[in-house]
């Protein structure tokens, strides 16, 4: 009987799930920006089984952040998956994006921190990329 009890304890599988939580990073592709594809933002590190994502994006004309948010800037709220694409009509007209995403964990929203992305163009290759303005 003791052997049977030991056998059942040792056969239990350990849980490999990660609790649903806020996204610990938002990233963009480091490749040259393709206007026909828009700019795809991807949330990562949010654990298992979120029921959705709510994105907040501020598209700012001022890439230096001197003026802060002004009436000329745009705020976007959208529900999507762990990635979303900002269309070129918005990306092309703005030099800076401030982004956060809330992970919906069975009705509880868990917010990421804000991430700033700026547009950069290489002088030689003329390749335009978007990169995190402040890295962790």
Write down the pLDDT at residue 37.
94
- The CA distance from 28 to 128, in Å, is 13
Q: Give pLDDT tens digits for 59-114.
A: 998 766 566 666 677 889 999 999 999 999 999 999 899 999 999 999 999 999 99
Q: Give pLDDT tens digits for 4-26.
A: 544 445 556 666 778 999 999 99
Write down the pLDDT at residue 106.
93
Task: Find out whether 109 and 102 touch, Cβ atoms under 8 Å.
Answer: yes
Task: Find out whether 32 and 127 touch, Cβ atoms under 8 Å.
Answer: yes
CATH class of 19-132: mainly beta
* Percent of the chain clearing pLDDT 70 (strictly above): 81
Give long-range contacts, CB 8 A cutoff, 24+ apart: 71-76. none
43: number of Cβ within 10 Å: 26
């Amino acid at each position: 009987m003791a052997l049977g009890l030991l056998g059942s304890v040792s056969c239990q599988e350990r849980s490999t799930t990660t609790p649903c939580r806020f996204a610990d990073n938002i990233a963009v592709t480091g490749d040259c920006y393709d206007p026909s594809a828009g700019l795809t933002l991807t949330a990562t590190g949010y654990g298992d089984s979120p029921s959705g994502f709510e994105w907040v994006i501020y598209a700012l004309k001022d890439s230096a952040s001197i003026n802060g948010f002004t009436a000329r800037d745009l705020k976007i709220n959208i529900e999507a998956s762990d990635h979303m694409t900002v269309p070129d009509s918005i990306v092309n007209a703005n030099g800076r994006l401030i982004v956060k995403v809330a992970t919906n964990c069975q009705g509880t929203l868990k917010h990421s921190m804000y991430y700033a992305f700026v547009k950069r163009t290489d002088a030689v290759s003329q390749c335009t990329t978007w990169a995190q303005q402040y890295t962790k």
